Structure 1
Amino acid sequence: MGRAFRIVVWAVWAIAAALLATPRPLAAEESLSTAGISRASDAVVGVISVAVEDASSSATLGPVRRGSGVVIGPDGLVLTIGYLIVEADQVQLLTDAGRHVPARVVGYDVATGFGLVQALIPLGLQPAPMGDPAQVHDEDTLLVISGGEDAGISMARRVSQRAFSGYWEYHLDHALFTAPARTDHSGAALFNLQGELLGVGSLFVGDALGPGQPPMHGNMFVPIDLLKPILAELITQGRSAQSRRAWIGVNCIEIDGEVRVLRVNSPSPAETAGLQPGDRIVRIDGQAVDNLDTLWHRLWSGGAVERDVALDIQRNGRAMRVPLRTVDRQSTLKQPAGT
């Protein structure tokens, strides 16, 4: 209890000091609950995973991943960010008491980015209740809590809520952006002051305020309301139905109305087709592409998961058409032996 208690005391002190230092009055819905903060802190654990041998994700994520997760089920079900446990061979959960508890992967959802793991022995921790991100407003006082050996808690504020398109064939219609930034954001839990879970940490960003706004370092959180309608699917199927969608295997960047390839995954349909870093994607199946949102949505909505797609590109000023055949991302991921 020692470390968790000290974290809660520090959090109460920090929040009180910050609120006294600002002229903005504390809204009624922001009333501080020390019991809620204590419950939230207790529910957050560290997540350590080791990828299977020759996992393709190790090229970008490394073979060993460390981050956080939050207990959301009475049977030791832990929610985290999916990239921590994708292609994982071994998973361990680290509690505040210093226990290392073995766990297994339950699900990885490509569409939302959520990951689920299940403790293999009782954690003895109460699950965190889920809150409603729609009730959060910009500048509301929130808490970011991470777990593991370097567990920490800090105050944050939501600075924007908006659509987000990731370079790795990923899109959310709405995501939560907070500041100040935390570097231990992977799987960290975002709570309101009543200790209700609002989101799971995914990224460090430099544009927390959004496009066209002044630069601001912050974090992107996947909102918890995206989990509620798919949780049963994740537990029983390992992913949601919306995660069964076409994948080509590229990382792209959007600059000044142009979409260019940053990296080509190996192996992937894009690699087989000969796409290269620096290629500008001009059209997909005849539809003009000037942003990531258009590219990803056209890829996912254009037909069957496995189908022929035509990319019109420009390479070194020369127009080219690149045909490729998409695949289901899940089919490319390595699984532990015996699964």
Structure 2
Amino acid sequence: MSRLAIGLLTSRAFAVVGTLLAAILVAAGAHAAPDPDPARFNGTVVRVEAEIVPDGQTAQSLGRKRSGSGVILDERTVLTIGYLVLEAEQVSVITPDGRRAPANVAGYDHASGFGLLRTLVPIGGRALELGDSDAVQVRQKVLTLGQGETEATELLVLSRKPFAGSWEYLLERPIFTFPPVDNWSGAALIDQDGKLVGIGSLIVNDAASERRGVPGNLFVPVNLLKPILAELLSQGRRSGPAQPWLGVATEPVRGHLIVERVTRDGPADQAGLAPGDIIVGVAGEAVSDQADFYRRVWKLGPAGVTVPLQVLKGTEVRDVPVRSIDRAQMLHKPRGI
């Protein structure tokens, strides 16, 4: 998103929330600033560039050429946000001093959204140690650093509320920060101990828990990576059965879950779902938002389970069984996996 777009998104919101945030800080006190020297983390973040296969499922929605940030974990391992390298046929890592190194996608995890890269040659730089993202609290001050930046930017943690994305994605405790920054994709989120606690994923227009319309960024907590890091590096994905995937994008509108689009030839498409349909239930249990929908689908079993949906088509509620699959079946494997 361009700086102009960010400005249009946030100009009114800054005016609305300025007094609110000031009151929060005065009443509760912000946690101590994480580090007095924002240049301390120079050399820890690299630029990631990826080119996607021409016929990739995500090529149209996310583009064939993607770029963002990645965080150095060791001299050859870089942690980034997975959508940058999803279905990538070519990946490069560019260090802060301009050196370019080819890389492979070592692992991708749809459930968390993380992507791991392994460069073909050592890139040097400075590694960031993984911190404890569970300890990150609302009103805590943190730092973010993206590619091309020489100093980290101070942010305030606004909330740890759940986030549900239309692409069958759910985080129970992401880290929402304010003010919004426009270099978020794959950026590092750093705590008061100088450790990595999150990876930048999105800019959102509803980052606060108690007030709507407050813009900010969403960071994926690194504690979601720790249990699967070794598996991603050794086999490209987490072990165990995959979550069931339906291939349906939804939008919650006034308590209704409306189908926005379905993936061509995906499970929902083959079952007859179409844009404009309204999903009202899963296995006879009512759903009204995306988070509830995903939780009910995923508790039915692993990929391959048939998901009985109740769908309002026109004026009639119909039972629509959808045979789920592993999402990876619909995607090109990135180079390296």
* TM-score of the pair, normalised by structure 2: 0.86
> 1:13 maps to what in 2?
none
The correspondence for 1:268, drawn from 243, 266, 269, is 266
* Structure 1 position 214, deviation (Å): 3.3
Do the aligned partners of residues 91 and 336 (structure 1) sit closer, same or farther apart at CA in structure 2, a change above 3 Å counting?
same
Contact 1:250–1:263 (Cα < 8 Å) also in 2: yes
Flag structure 1 segments of 5+ consecutive residues without an equivalent: 1-21
* Structure 1 position 33, deviation (Å): 4.8
1:8-47 aligned at under 5 Å gives the runs 30=33, 32-34=35-37, 37-47=38-48
**Bigger shift: residues 238-247 or 276-285:** 238-247
Do the aligned partners of residues 337 and 160 (structure 1) sit closer, same or farther apart at CA in structure 2, a change above 3 Å counting?
closer
> 1:291 maps to what in 2?
289
* Structure 1 position 266, deviation (Å): 2.4
Paired residue secondary structure (1:330)? helix
Runs of 4+ in 1 over 6 A off after TM superposition: 22-28
Contact 2:246–2:267 (Cα < 8 Å) also in 1: yes
The correspondence for 1:306, drawn from 293, 304, 307, is 304
1:185-264 aligned at under 5 Å gives the runs 185-210=184-209, 213-241=211-239, 244-264=242-262
* Structure 1 position 314, deviation (Å): 0.9
Paired residue secondary structure (1:178)? strand
* Structure 1 position 327, deviation (Å): 0.5
* Structure 1 position 310, deviation (Å): 2.1
1:15-164 aligned at under 5 Å gives the runs 30=33, 32-34=35-37, 37-72=38-73, 74-148=74-148, 153-164=152-163
**Bigger shift: residues 328-337 or 125-134:** 328-337
Do the aligned partners of residues 307 and 137 (structure 1) sit closer, same or farther apart at CA in structure 2, a change above 3 Å counting?
closer
Flag structure 2 segments of 5+ consecutive residues without an equivalent: 1-24
| Residue type at the aligned position of 1:145 | L
Paired residue secondary structure (2:223)? helix
* Structure 1 position 244, deviation (Å): 0.9
> 1:317 maps to what in 2?
315
Could you tell me how far apart the structure 1 residues matched to 2:311 and 2:150 are?
46
Establish whether residue 329 from structure 1 lines up as the match of residue 330 from structure 2.
Answer: no
Contact 1:50–1:63 (Cα < 8 Å) also in 2: yes
Paired residue secondary structure (1:229)? helix
Contact 2:32–2:140 (Cα < 8 Å) also in 1: no
Could you tell me how far apart the structure 2 residues matched to 1:33 and 1:163 are?
31
Do the aligned partners of residues 152 and 318 (structure 1) sit closer, same or farther apart at CA in structure 2, a change above 3 Å counting?
farther
Contact 1:76–1:125 (Cα < 8 Å) also in 2: no
1:83-111 Cα deviation digits (max 9, x unpaired): 11111100011111112211000111011
Could you tell me how far apart the structure 2 residues matched to 1:338 and 1:197 are?
25
Could you tell me how far apart the structure 2 residues matched to 1:289 and 1:31 are?
41
* Structure 1 position 259, deviation (Å): 1.0
Could you tell me how far apart the structure 2 residues matched to 1:282 and 1:25 are?
41
The CA RMSD measured in Å over matched residues stands at 2.4
* Structure 1 position 172, deviation (Å): 1.4
Could you tell me how far apart the structure 2 residues matched to 1:105 and 1:31 are?
32
* TM-score of the pair, normalised by structure 1: 0.85
Contact 2:104–2:336 (Cα < 8 Å) also in 1: no
> 1:170 maps to what in 2?
169
Contact 1:56–1:267 (Cα < 8 Å) also in 2: no
Could you tell me how far apart the structure 2 residues matched to 1:47 and 1:101 are?
10
Contact 1:94–1:147 (Cα < 8 Å) also in 2: no
Could you tell me how far apart the structure 2 residues matched to 1:278 and 1:152 are?
46
* Structure 1 position 185, deviation (Å): 1.2
Contact 2:138–2:158 (Cα < 8 Å) also in 1: yes
Could you tell me how far apart the structure 2 residues matched to 1:308 and 1:252 are?
19
* Structure 1 position 228, deviation (Å): 1.2
> 1:181 maps to what in 2?
180
* Structure 1 position 297, deviation (Å): 1.5
- What is the number of residues matched between the two proteins? 314
Percent of paired sites with the same residue = 39
Do the aligned partners of residues 338 and 66 (structure 1) sit closer, same or farther apart at CA in structure 2, a change above 3 Å counting?
closer
> 2:16 maps to what in 1?
none
Could you tell me how far apart the structure 2 residues matched to 1:192 and 1:143 are?
7
Do the aligned partners of residues 152 and 168 (structure 1) sit closer, same or farther apart at CA in structure 2, a change above 3 Å counting?
farther
| Residue type at the aligned position of 1:295 | F
Contact 1:191–1:197 (Cα < 8 Å) also in 2: yes
* Structure 1 position 222, deviation (Å): 0.4
Paired residue secondary structure (2:144)? strand
Do the aligned partners of residues 286 and 125 (structure 1) sit closer, same or farther apart at CA in structure 2, a change above 3 Å counting?
same
| Residue type at the aligned position of 1:323 | P
